[in-house]
Amino acid sequence: MRVALLLILLSTTVYSQNIFRFKAKGPRVKVERTIVTNQANLARRILKITNLTTQQKLRATYYQPRVHPTRITGPNNYLKGLSRRFTGPQWNRIGQSGGYNGAHHIVTKSVIKQISLKDGEIVANAPSVFHPLHNNPNFEYMFHDHERQLKIYEQSGIKGVVIDFFERANAVSGRLGIPVYNEDVIHQALLEAELWAKHWNLKWE
């Protein structure tokens, strides 16, 4: 079924945990999202729905408005899909080395591979954000401190890693006058991270 969807629906990004279908471009993008998981309660909270298709497959359709990139969080494949469909002053710099330079995995790809011994789908579905300093060599410590993340993971799980990232990012952004991540984004990122961690049998906290 997923193979067929991948071949037929060119605007669809298909992975085992999340299936995204994006429609249209402009000031807002219509998104059809399916979450395949055994964490139905968490998935309902993320999708903000009460009805279930099945206990392991939840679907919702919603519109993602074109807001500032730091106001959006979700799986890495979701952010990549949006970055190809939004245009505007901030969004035009997403893929450039002088700007945001792509979606940032909150838990680094190296750490994901080390703690899970997996690659591919788990990385594509990992919780992510946009930040204008991402891939700026002067701020490598903030985004890609693998040793720090491993230590935090051992002590406090994925939840600790996510909280630590937002605390450090907001401290730096506040000093430099860059938009900080608000409480809604952090809350949503934690929900996405919890669903992701439990789906892939990672330590949550």
Confidence of residue 53 (pLDDT cuts 50, 70, 90): low
Residue numbers of the domain that contains 178: 2-199
Judge whether 197 and 37 are in contact, CB under 8 Å: no
6: pLDDT strictly greater than 60 = no
Is 205 contained in some domain? no
Read off the DSSP letter of residue 119: -
Judge whether 42 and 198 are in contact, CB under 8 Å: yes
Q: How many domains does the chain have?
A: 1
Is 204 contained in some domain? no
User: Any idea which of 92-96, 120-124, 171-175 has the lowest mean pLDDT?
Assistant: 92-96
User: Any idea which of 29-38, 51-60, 122-131, 134-143 has the lowest mean pLDDT?
Assistant: 51-60
Mean pLDDT in residue range 155-182: 97
Is 178 contained in some domain? yes
